Amino acid sequence: MRRTLAPELRDWVELVVADNADDLLRYFRRRVDQPEDAADLLGRVLLTLWEKASRIPMSDEEARMWCFGIARNVIREHYRGATKRISLANALRDQLTEPKYPDNSADTTADARLQAQAVRKAVAHLDERSRELVTLVHWDGFNIAQAARLLAINESTARTRYGRALQRLRRDLDDQSSSEEIAQARARPDMTHASRHETHPARTA
The mean pLDDT of 54-76, rounded to a whole number, is 95
Task: Check whether residue 175 and residue 138 sit in a common domain.
Answer: yes
The answer to whether residue 174 is domain-embedded is yes
Same domain, yes or no: 70 and 134: no
Confidence of residue 85 (pLDDT cuts 50, 70, 90): very low
Within a domain: 43: yes
Neighbours of 48 (CB within 10 A): 16
pLDDT digits (tens, 9 = 90+) for 149-176: 999 999 888 888 888 888 888 888 777 6
| Number of domains into which the chain is organized | 2
For 86-123, what is each residue's pLDDT tens digit? 344 444 445 444 444 454 555 444 555 556 677 777 88
* Domain endpoint, select from 30, 48, 81: 81
Q: Which domain holds residue 66?
A: 7-81
146 in the same domain as 181: yes
Check whether 48 has a pLDDT greater than 90: yes
Q: 126 and 53: one domain?
A: no
* Domain at 129, CATH number: 1.10.10.10
Is there a single domain that holds both residue 110 and residue 40? Answer: no
Q: Are residues 109 and 141 in the same domain?
A: yes
16 and 69 inside one domain? yes
What pLDDT, on the 0 to 100 scale, is given for residue 36?
Answer: 85
Q: Is residue 87 part of a domain?
A: no
Q: Could you give the CA distance from residue 101 to residue 185 in angstroms, rounded to a whole number? A: 28
Alpha-carbon 107 to chain mean position: 25
The answer to whether residue 202 sits within a structural domain is no
**In-domain check, residue 205:** no
In a domain, 91, yes or no: no
Mean pLDDT of the chain: 76
> Residue 166: what pLDDT?
84
Q: Which amino acid is at 69?
A: G
Is 73 found in the same domain as 114? no
Question: What average pLDDT does range 11-34 have in this prediction?
Answer: 93
∠ CA 130-132-135, nearest 5°, is 110
Predicted confidence at residue 69, as pLDDT, reads 95
